[in-house]
Amino acid sequence: MAARTEDGVARGGPIARCIVYGILMLAAAYFLLPLYVMLTTSFKTLPQIANGSLLSLPSPFSVSAWGDAWSSACTGGDCNGLHHYFWNSVAFTAPAVALSTAFGALNGYVLTKWRFKGSELIFGLLLVGTFVPFQMFLLPMARVLGIIGLDNSVAGLTLVHTVYGIAFTTLFCRNYYVAIPDELVKAARIDGASFISTFRHVILPISTPILMVCVIWQFTQIWNDFLFGVVFTSGDAHPITVALNNLVNTSSTGVKRYNVDMAGAIITALPTLLVYIVAGRYFMRGLTAGAVKG
Amino acid sequence: MAVLNIENVSKTFGETRVLEDINISMAEGEFLILVGPSGCGKSTLLNMIAGLESVSDGRITLDGRSVNDASPRERNIAMVFQFYALYPNMNVRRNIEFGLKMRGVPKAERAQTVERVARMLQIENLLDRKPAQLSGGQRQRVAIGRALARDPALFLFDEPLSNLDAKLRVEMRTELKQLHQRLGTAMVYVTHDQIEAMTLGDRIAVMHAGRVQQLGTPREIYDDPANRYVAGFIGSPAMNFIECGLTGSGGDTAVRLTGSDTETHLALPQATAAKLAEHGKTRVLMGVRPEHLVPAAEADTRRARVTCAIDVVEPTGPDTYLHTELNDAAVTARCLPSAAPNTGAHIPLAIDAERAVFFDCDTEQRIA
């Protein structure tokens, strides 16, 4: 019989629990296996990859593939590894994440606490922006970037990602701020705070969870983007996602270097993983806050 | 000079008119209550005084200066909200001094003010806590402290006690009244609780459907209601309304009352009778408060009496209320707990005709 436990959640007996945990562990193994293969392969030497089993541990343990992927592997024309493109990606991801999050917070604040005639319409239009697929933007955006002279540049990618991200960050922040009582803003206005100082002193300090959501979401989207990167930039200005693709598909010796490919893929994925680890505990909290508070 | 002057003020949201032709003038140091049911426009009016809502029509002046277009910052007011509206990220000290900080008051002066306010409200030991670590009553004290810090010309209260439990509400009510007596600063206080209105106010504006139904002292509102709405809204238990036919004419005009079996003619005071006769209708609505409808044994023997069957007996402690019928209308009478009859008893009730008020059955306006 399921008994009510202290936290109010009904749980089954030991057998039922074993089944549940068994299934969960299988699922975890299923999702972790590719990561395991990637990691072990990246530390193996080429002969070991060719002759050994896919699941065996690396022996001898070698980090040379990581060095190659970072600084000497060929990505199309040049053979300087991923490091240049890594910093490219950092150079447009960091400002684009910061800008789109800042604009989203400001938009959400205005759309909930300083409503004006037509603000619901504007929010509706912004919402549509979240449904528009990347591909639809490509041609008009390429034209715009050309006209304003930002084509094939890191600054151009920053602009594209900022604009595209605002629809999402606005949606997140607006839904978060809608749950904050209007009285708080009224009190600040009575206290003499202006539009901006109310935002700075009252709203922003209680926005951490939703800002974290925006940062994680935007960072993942922008860092992992391939399409905008491959369309709007070329050669030296490529982001790391495009460079990784080139690295995997270029072979200077005719031999497929799986260890270098794996190391490159992990290097590319590492920043998003880090952001999840650092900001992740706020993520679920931010997404569900407001949903439970009526 | 009037601290606050509201002249012919109206408010419309799109097509809906929420406030119509409001005229209120407030003297220095006055405690004014805006009372009414939810949706009557009282909070909107308060927000308009605060500058949080625009004025559609008319004029609001503070200290003789028209503030129609002034932002809340430019008005010398402070406000306390129903849900406290404390800044959750700041501790109590920073909450209290925030308004001063926004107005550029130097740090040393701010610290002094916080000390003074905290001492006055006895919250010195809470200064370093965050709002989430406070109880409801403590939060409301801090919210009041935040308003006090600014030393404004006018305090605005938006149902500040309605979130507290019953016992605390009564305590805070007394404290607010003491605070007002000590500060001598004018206050506008919005509530839907008629007991708060009666106990706190120097004057009360009873609002309904976007209009001020009556503006007067608590005594005037209670004893001399302008219409049936005010009469029914103020007083607990509510005033009894009994539709009656009139007999006689001129100064002899009397009302017919039927209890459980007997019919009585209730003679009225000369002035009342004359007004009713002049009004000319044969049926009127009589309003009698429960305390003026009592068992005949407790009343002056000269008063008219009518025998009624008691349906329900309700002891409340100091008083016992008796539910019965007069002219087929459910009415409540009051009696001493020691002399309470049993349910089902037929007892004579006496009506204090001096205190009865009369309304037109159709317009519900006061006749006499």
B85 and A181 within 8 Å at the Cβ level: the answer is yes
Cross-strand pairs, B203: B32
Residue B227 carries which DSSP code?
B
Alpha-carbon distance of B28 to A29, in angstroms, equals 76
CB contacts of A197 in chain B (<8 Å) are 102
Task: Tell me the whole-structure pTM to 2 decimals.
Answer: 0.83
Q: What is the pLDDT of residues A40-70, one digit of tens each?
A: 999 999 889 888 888 888 888 999 999 999 9
| pLDDT score, position B300 | 83
A201 and B79 within 8 Å at the Cβ level: the answer is no
Q: Are A82 and A267 in contact (CB under 8 A)?
A: yes
Of A184, A190, A193, the CB nearest to B79: A190
B73 and A192 within 8 Å at the Cβ level: the answer is yes
Of B72, B87, B88, the CB nearest to A190: B72
Neighbours of B245 (CB within 10 A): 13
Preferred mutation among B54, B62, B79 to probe A, highest tally of A CBs within 10 A: B79
- Check whether A292 has a pLDDT greater than 60: no
What's the CATH class of domain B240-359?
mainly beta
Q: Which amino acid is at A259?
A: N
Give the mean pLDDT of A188-192.
93
Q: Residue A90: CA atoms inside 13 Å, Cβ hemisphere, count?
A: 11
B77 touches chain A (CB under 8 A): yes
Higher pLDDT, A74 or A217: A217
What element of type H or E holds B170? helix B166-183
Q: How many helices (H) and strands (E) does chain A have?
A: 13, 2
Q: What is the pLDDT of residues A252-284, one digit of tens each?
A: 667 788 999 999 999 999 999 999 888 877 766
B89 and A205 within 8 Å at the Cβ level: the answer is yes
Q: Which amino acid is at B133?
A: Q
What distance in Å separates residue B45's CA from the closest CA in chain A?
Answer: 15
Average pLDDT, chain A: 88
- Check whether A167 has a pLDDT greater than 90: yes
CB contacts of B84 in chain A (<8 Å) are 183
Local confidence band at B302 (pLDDT 50, 70, 90 cut-offs): confident
The closest alpha carbon to B30, from B150, B171, B223, B200, belongs to B200
Residue of B nearest to A198 (CA): B102
| pLDDT score, position A293 | 34
- Taking the alpha carbons of B332, B337, B343, B349 in that order, is the dihedral positive or negative? negative
The CATH classification number of B4-233 equals 3.40.50.300
CB contacts of B78 in chain A (<8 Å) are 190
- Taking the alpha carbons of B229, B235, B240, B244 in that order, is the dihedral positive or negative? negative
Question: Measured in whole angstroms, how far is the alpha carbon of residue A25 from the centre of its chain?
Answer: 26
Tokens encoding B181: 């007596």
- Check whether B33 has a pLDDT greater than 90: yes
Tokens 């910052």 locate to: B73
Of A186, A192, A194, the CB nearest to B81: A186
Give the mean pLDDT of B16-38.
94
CB contacts of B146 in chain A (<8 Å) are 187, 191
- Check whether A73 has a pLDDT greater than 50: yes
Preferred mutation among A114, A184, A190 to probe B, highest tally of B CBs within 10 A: A190
Q: What is the pLDDT of residues B314-339, one digit of tens each?
A: 999 999 999 999 999 999 999 999 98
> ipTM value of the model?
0.84
Q: What is the pLDDT of residues B142-200, one digit of tens each?
A: 999 999 998 899 999 999 998 888 899 999 999 999 999 999 999 999 999 999 999 99
Would you say the CATH fold of B240-359 matches that of B4-233?
Answer: no
What distance in Å separates residue B79's CA from the closest CA in chain A?
Answer: 7
- For chain B, what percent of residues have pLDDT higher than 70? 100
Phi, psi of A71 (to 5 degrees): -125, -10
A188 and B52 within 8 Å at the Cβ level: the answer is no
Q: Are A75 and A89 in contact (CB under 8 A)?
A: no
B81 and A187 within 8 Å at the Cβ level: the answer is yes
Tokens encoding B143: 């919210």
Q: What is the DSSP string of A90-158?
A: HHHHHHHHHHHHHHHHHHHHHHHHS--TTHHHHHHHHHHHTTS-HHHHHHHHHHHHHHTT-TTSHHHHH
Q: Which amino acid is at A125?
A: L
Alpha-carbon distance of B256 to B247, in angstroms, equals 7
B54 touches chain A (CB under 8 A): no
- Check whether A3 has a pLDDT greater than 90: no
What distance in Å separates residue B213's CA from the closest CA in chain A?
Answer: 28
A190 and B102 within 8 Å at the Cβ level: the answer is no
Neighbours of A97 (CB within 10 A): 26
Q: What is the DSSP string of A12-76?
A: --HHHHHHHHHHHHHHHHHHHHHHHHHHHHHTS-HHHHHHS-TTSPPSS---HHHHHHHHT--BT
Residue of A nearest to B73 (CA): A192
Q: Kindly list the domain boundaries of chain B, sorted by start residue.
A: 4-233, 240-359
B78 touches chain A (CB under 8 A): yes
Q: What is the DSSP string of A180-191?
A: S-HHHHHHHHHT
Alpha-carbon distance of B161 to B191, in angstroms, equals 9
Q: What is the pLDDT of residues B48-94, one digit of tens each?
A: 999 999 999 999 999 989 999 999 999 999 999 988 899 998 999 99
Q: Kindly list the domain boundaries of chain A, sorted by start residue.
A: 3-62, 78-288
Local confidence band at A5 (pLDDT 50, 70, 90 cut-offs): low
**Beta strand pairing call for B65-66 and B283-288:** unpaired
B13 touches chain A (CB under 8 A): no
| pLDDT score, position A4 | 52
Q: Are B211 and B205 in contact (CB under 8 A)?
A: no
Q: How many inter-chain contacts (A to B, CB under 8 Å) are there?
A: 58
| pLDDT score, position B305 | 86
- Check whether A1 has a pLDDT greater than 70: no
B107 touches chain A (CB under 8 A): no
| pLDDT score, position A6 | 58
Local confidence band at A291 (pLDDT 50, 70, 90 cut-offs): very low
Its CATH architecture, for the domain A78-288, is: Orthogonal Bundle (1.10)
**Beta strand pairing call for B186-191 and B31-35:** parallel
| pLDDT score, position A286 | 56
The closest alpha carbon to B171, from B208, B205, B194, B138, belongs to B138
